[in-house]
Every structure is written in structure tokens, then in C-alpha cells.
Amino acid sequence: MAASLPRSLPSGTVTCGSNKYTASAITAAINAGVDDMNSDYYPDNYPHQYYDEASEDITLYCSGSGPWYEFPIMPNGKIYDSTSSNYVSPGTDRVIFTASGTYCAVVTHTGAASYDGFVACKGD
């Protein structure tokens, strides 16, 4: 469910399963997703629209009613890129943002009730 006002990036570490992310890693993933959208480049269909499912009980910290986008956030400071010669799985974790790059949330498939469901990451 979307909140009415955006918030700052998390001040501490965000934990998704066993992966930990800093604000700078979150920002880098958002910037990569926005850059790909602006370049009309969608490796492995990312970024793509994120749909806020009430059953997932995730609060999006961005204003308005969307659309929101999801892009993989990768462990160890890597930036997701899925070129045909260098395929890397998008993993389980995603950063959610607006088309203008406003931070909304960090979510994970780890621990979700369904295969393609999400839960909020700790510290988000």
C-alpha cells in the first residue's frame, strides 16, 4: 500500500534474506534501472512495472499511485546486467522506484508466500 509522502533512503543496512544493502547500493540499483529505462534497454525484461499487491503487505514509500518499477539489486555491489554474452540471474531481491528515480522500497522473494510474491526487506 503506497504511503502519501516519499521518505529518505534507509539510514542503515537493509537485509533481504542473507543479503545486506547500503543506501549507496540501493541508489546505484535505482540509477541503473532508470538509466536502462531512459535508454530503452530492458535486459531480461528489467526494469518492469511493479504491482502493489495488498496481500503482500508491503508499504511503498513514494507518493502517488504509480506506476512503480522493479529492478534487481545484487549482492556485493554488483549492478544487474543481462547481456546475452554475460547472463547473470536477477536473484531474489528488487528495488522499487518511480520512473523519475524516487525510492519506494526494497523487497525480496525470499520468505514470500508464493513463488513470485514479495516481502519487505528488514530495515527498509
Q: Of 52, 70, 93, 124, which is the active-site residue?
A: 70
> Is 109 among the catalytic positions?
yes
Query: For the domain 14-120, what is the CATH code?
Result: 3.10.450.30
> Is 76 among the catalytic positions?
no
Please list the alpha-helical segments (H only) found in 40-101: none
56, three cell numbers: 503482500
Q: For the chain, give every domain's residue range.
A: 14-120
Q: Is the pLDDT of residue 57 over 70?
A: yes
pTM of the model: 0.87
The model's pLDDT over 59-98, given as tens digits with 9 standing for 90+, comes to 787 767 789 999 999 998 888 876 656 677 889 999 999 9
pLDDT of residue 7: 64
> Is 48 among the catalytic positions?
yes
Residues 6+ apart with CB under 8 A from 74: 29, 80, 88, 91, 93
